[in-house]
Structure 1
Amino acid sequence: MTTSSPIPPITEDDIAQFLTQTPGFFERHAEVLASVQITSPHGQRAVSLQERQAEMLREKIKGLEQRIMEMVRHSNENAAIAAKVDQWTGALLQIRDPMDLPQAVVDGVRTLFDVPQAAVRVWGVAGAYIDADFTQGASEDAQAFASSLTMPFCGPNLGFEPAAWLAQGEAAQAQSLALLPLREGAIDSATPAFGLLVLGSHDAQRFDATMGTDFLARMAELASAALARLR
């Protein structure tokens, strides 16, 4: 005489699998769907499955609306920045004397982009500009550092030499920096840098290491194109 093996109990996974594989179950047993009661996340009261699904859908719609609002806000901010970049470009194109370009770059950054601190250094310039203030103070290490950057550097002021190029008294107050390499061509090319644009802020979060650098890279390329006239 053989004994049959005990039938294993039905688990929640078995039920879930059955309902997944039998989509017509609730159509044939609509009364079961209507009788299901679960706890609402907005209180201890019990609600029907349909009501809970409606709540989940409303929450999902609310989340999507918030994401759309953020996308619209970012889009507006990006459009405003793009307009300022175009204005800055136009101003640089109107500079006739190349000697005035470095100061125009710095002034434009500070006024148009609300950057409290800015400075620029250029090396390898033509003989007519070799004694200008904007060519002084960039050591070989600083030049090599600029050439090593293939994208703007953003982060805390850790005592980088270029921070000292900021106006007297501003270097110590700069809590965060953005360092934009200046080179001919794309910012991420292997061409050695011929300059460095330094942006500083009293706000430690203004130039954070996690921030996007697309606009800063565009600014670096535009400044490079303008300042290349000094070479």
Structure 2
Amino acid sequence: MKILIYDCHKSRVQESEKIKKALLRGHPDLEIDIAEVRKFQFPDTENYDAFIVSGADGHSEKHAWPRLIKEQIAKIIGIGKPVLGVCFGSQILAELYGFEIITLKKPEIGWVQVKLTDLGKEDQLFKELPTSLPIYQYHIRAVKGGGKVLAESRNCIQAVKYSDTIYGIQFHAEESPESGKEYLKTDRKCENYEEASTLAPEEYIEWKIYRNFIDIITKTVK
């Protein structure tokens, strides 16, 4: 199976490299490419079986790339190929399905407790995961509603299912306790490192969400 990750960051692809690493942990036979959206890299979608859209470190509607990636994902949905949106990518999916994006009163930065809904407890995306677990966050905008809500934190919706092969996750399941803490120590937006890292788990199990996504879509990819 061949996967394309759309990286939406300004000048770094670390997040997408972490997503790639998490994917390969569960499925080492995957072929994975990374396309830098802000450099207007949009490979032919016919060459890929599924797509992942990363988070983004800020954007303006004045820029062309948010509109272009949204148009690209709309086309992919239209041809029936699987998509997983992460953070900003999740918000793109929500907008394409006609749902609102809100700005939180306070950003979620660091590990936040995420609880599965009844639908989430039954969904294969969270197979072999507890019904409540801390997952790394880095966002101030979030999905207000839409689709089948699979998980929530105290402040916002955390996971949504739009179809059998289209999911959005607000959290960053690619961040391990080690990598997340390392990032927060040097991040200017993290005002309280101790608070942000209090819930950091000892064991990294969130990578299974990426594995489960591939397991789900494997049945649909010819």
Structure number, greater radius of gyration: 1
Under TM normalisation by the shorter chain, which class is it? under 0.3
Could you state the TM-score of these two structures normalised by the residue count of structure 2? 0.27
Could you state the TM-score of these two structures normalised by the residue count of structure 1? 0.26
